[in-house]
Amino acid sequence: MRGPHNIWRLIRTGATFERTGAMHVVLDAFDTPAPLRMAARVLAWPFTFLGERGDPGLPPAVRALQVLGPAYIKFGQILSTRPDVVGEDMAQELRVLQDKLPPFSVEEAKRQVEAELGQPVDEVFSEFSDPVAAASIAQVHRARLRETGEEVAVKVLRPGIERAFRKDIDAFWFAAATIENLSPASRRLHPRDVIAHFEGVVMGELDLRLEAAAASEFAANTVSDSGFQLPRVNWGLSGRRVMVMSWAEGVPLGDNAGLDAAGHDRKALSERVLQLFLNHALRDGFFHADMHQGNLKVAANGDIIAYDFGIMGHIDEYTRRVYAEILFGFIRRDYKRVAEVHFEAGYVPADRDPDEFARALRAVGEPIFGMDATRISMGKLLAYLFEVTERFGMETRTELILLQRTMVVVEGVARSLDPRMNIWKVAQPVVEDYIKQSIGPRAAASDLWKTAMVMARFGPRLPKLVEAALIRQAQPVETVKPGRWRGRVLWGLLGLGVGAAATALVGALV
């Protein structure tokens, strides 16, 4: 229920941050301006007694996020990949939220597995370990199949996780609606659309059958990718609350000391993880959208292994081309073209000045080029980008939220491996290759062929579709001018002609 009762939940959130000491730590990490810092402390302080204490053995920010629940833990996981935003110390502290949360008992896990599979655990597995990783939504056990002896990972949802997420999301809905009502200027950011997007992602993550399907599709797309592996799904032992996959053996990507001891090249790994993400996003339009260190390992042969496919991103071909052109423009420092792409895609209102927007983009991009990556303040860069979007009335694009968020996470992962990595230089070959394949004469011919195929399929239905459209749009006969009727008839005949031509073309070529 998304009513005012959620005020209580939001008050307790602020109170918990204050009581655990996280409020001060977080405000410092984000270099919050003094007036906003004071307002946050003053508003939260009177309600401190309502806050949760959490585990006093944990650092303040981790303590607060963990006790507040899974949705807040998700937020902490993202921040853990951004030492350049929150600082190295806090990023390291938050990393425990990726896969080192308090587990539930192995007995409870076995009960869920038995309920899902319809047979005793001992009949399916000859070995079933205590939890080896516990995250916000599920935990993983290492097991061995009795029939084949294969070592597998068994993922089991946390008991009551659906209800816990629902409580948090309801509070977020209320907060988004309140923000929109109290601050009309915030509506361009579409807070409610953002929460709707987040809700859709989370609800999909709570059904492990969907995760298994995503893993299968991702594996088919990336089968030829060099230096990249995925575990195999065991469909016969997977269901809504349980999923079984082959065991992924390797060094966690967040363990720099372990990677060095194993002789892996961290610089090469940092470049590969970023290029893999860009390839999956641009080439396939289907990418792993939760690529933090807790979901990545490095195999003995140096391959990157990805797992946990609960959050996957999808972007259509047109959006991929727009995104690639924007990246390519930044790489070439062609800010005028970057501005034009934003206007062509409708990301910036048409009444704004393209030249002024290009200059604002130059102020964002120029500090990056020719500068040591360790000297770039990503926090300040993101803050300035937000100012630019506000000044030019850019609205939040919900279809790009997951892409943008994952880009931030992946860059953070890459820089944790090699702090001197330059994102633009590493991205350039991947983006250039995609541009060559998707923009130009060959791509135009491919687009025409696809259009012709669509028109051919709908050719027999075009007369009825045109007639139905004319009836819906038509005014009463006595009030419609003859010229307007002639125009509508001409457009209808043109549509029929195009459909017939497309049908003939496809028939001739097939």
| Residues forming the active site | 290
Q: Where would I find the H helices in 439-481? A: 441-458, 462-473
Pairing of strands 304-306, 151-157: unpaired
**Helices 191-205, 398-417: inter-axial angle, 10-degree rounding:** 70
Distances (CA, A) of 136 to 163, 188, 242, 309: 13, 31, 15, 14
Token look-up 């009836």 returns 471
With contact defined as beta carbons under 8 Å apart, do 155 and 136 qualify?
A: no
What is the Cα–Cα distance from 302 to 443, expressed in whole angstroms?
A: 35
Per the DSSP assignment, residues forming a β-bridge with 245 are 153, 233
- HSE-CB for 166 with a 13 A CA cutoff: 6
Q: Where would I find the H helices in 102-255? A: 106-117, 121-124, 161-182, 191-205, 208-221
Nearest residue to 413 via CA among 308, 305, 293 = 293
What DSSP state is assigned to residue 233? B
What single letter denotes the amino acid at residue 368? I
What is the Cα–Cα distance from 373 to 367, expressed in whole angstroms?
A: 10
**483 φ/ψ sector (left φ>0, alpha ψ -120 to 50, else beta):** alpha
284-306 exposure pattern, b = at least 16 Cβ within 10 A, e = fewer: bbbbbbbbbbbbbbbbeebebbb
Burial class (CB in 10 A: 0-12, 13-18, 19+), 370: exposed
Token look-up 């050719």 returns 459
